Amino acid sequence: MRGFILLISGPSGAGKSTLLKKLFEEFAGELYFSISSTTRAPRDGEIDGVHYHFISQEKFQNGIKNGDFLEWARVHENFYGTSLEHTNRALDEGKIVVFDIDVQGFKIAKENLGDKIDSIFITAKNKEELKKRLLKRNTDTIAQLDKRLKNASEEMRELGEYDYLIINDNLEKSYEALRSIFLSLKHKTKRQNIEQIRNLWNEGV
């Protein structure tokens, strides 16, 4: 398998992490989650080095200066960035690297990595439903929630730039869509190591 990037974006609260969790449960050995660095404080249940690398503003700024990030962006007043080194290593190892990043990061990653990226935009059916989910998740203050909803409308303007779109209304159906997209990408001829497959074909005859 030749490594490639499965990049997911969409409004906060749309269900990206929920759907990705299911994909990682089913295809555990095949996927590599790109753990972003962020200056945001961890939420209850979030573990440093698992969900994010939670770092200080100073460390983040040093990372920018040192060119450590493939892309970075300021989202809802916090900084988020993707490690260049980890991404390149995983791609060289032929892994399928999963990014959960915002639309600004998508644009930069696309400029840098072009056809190594397949992208999916995941959203809720409307703003009202998104608000309900954010309230249910209960991780934001009212001011933060307002910011996320405003940002969601801006992100929705960019959905036409993505290869695939999932409107996450029914969770099971959305997972079926994500799973199908993943399997289809994995089986693309250009993702396969054709030479190796041909060599194996002739072995032992």
Residues of the shown chain interacting with ligand ADP in the complex, contacts defined by CB under 6 A: 10, 12-18, 133, 136-137, 168-169, 171, 174
Q: Which stretch binds ligand 5GP (CB under 6 A): 97-105, 115-123, 166-174, 175-183?
A: 97-105
Residues between 101 and 140 with contacts to ligand 5GP, criterion CB under 6 A: 101-102, 104-105
Q: Compute the residue count for the chain.
A: 205
Name which of ligand ADP, ligand 5GP, none residue 71 binds, using a CB cut-off of 5 to 8 Å depending on partner kind: ligand 5GP
User: Does the annotation place 119 within a ligand binding site?
Assistant: no
Q: Which stretch binds ligand 5GP (CB under 6 A): 100-108, 128-136, 157-165, 170-178?
A: 100-108
CA–CA dist 127, 14 (Å, integer): 10
Query: Exposed, middle or buried, 23 (CB in 10 Å: 0-12/13-18/19+)?
Result: buried
User: Does the annotation place 14 within a ligand binding site?
Assistant: yes
Residue 104 structure tokens: 């600004």
CA–CA dist 68, 198 (Å, integer): 38
Cβ(80)–Cβ(101) under 8 Å? yes
Binding to ligand 5GP by residue 60, rule CB under 6 A? no
Which of 2, 18, 33, 40 is close enough to bind ligand 5GP by CB under 6 A?
40
CA–CA dist 33, 96 (Å, integer): 8
Helices (H) and strands (E) in the chain, counts: 8, 9
Residues between 76 and 95 with contacts to ligand 5GP, criterion CB under 6 A: 80-82
Which CB atom, from 122 or from 177, has the smaller least distance to ligand 5GP?
A: 122
Residue 190 structure tokens: 């250009």
Q: Residues 196, 98, 56, CA angle at the centre, nearest 5°?
A: 135
User: Does the annotation place 42 within a ligand binding site?
Assistant: no
User: Within 10 A of 44 (CB to CB), how many other CB atoms are there?
Assistant: 6
Which CB atom, from 35 or from 84, has the smaller least distance to ligand ADP?
A: 35
Which CB atom, from 4 or from 121, has the smaller least distance to ligand 5GP?
A: 121
Tell me which residues touch ligand 5GP (CB under 6 A): 9, 12, 36, 40, 71, 73, 75, 80-82, 100-102, 104-105
Residue ranges of the annotated binding site for ATP are 10-17
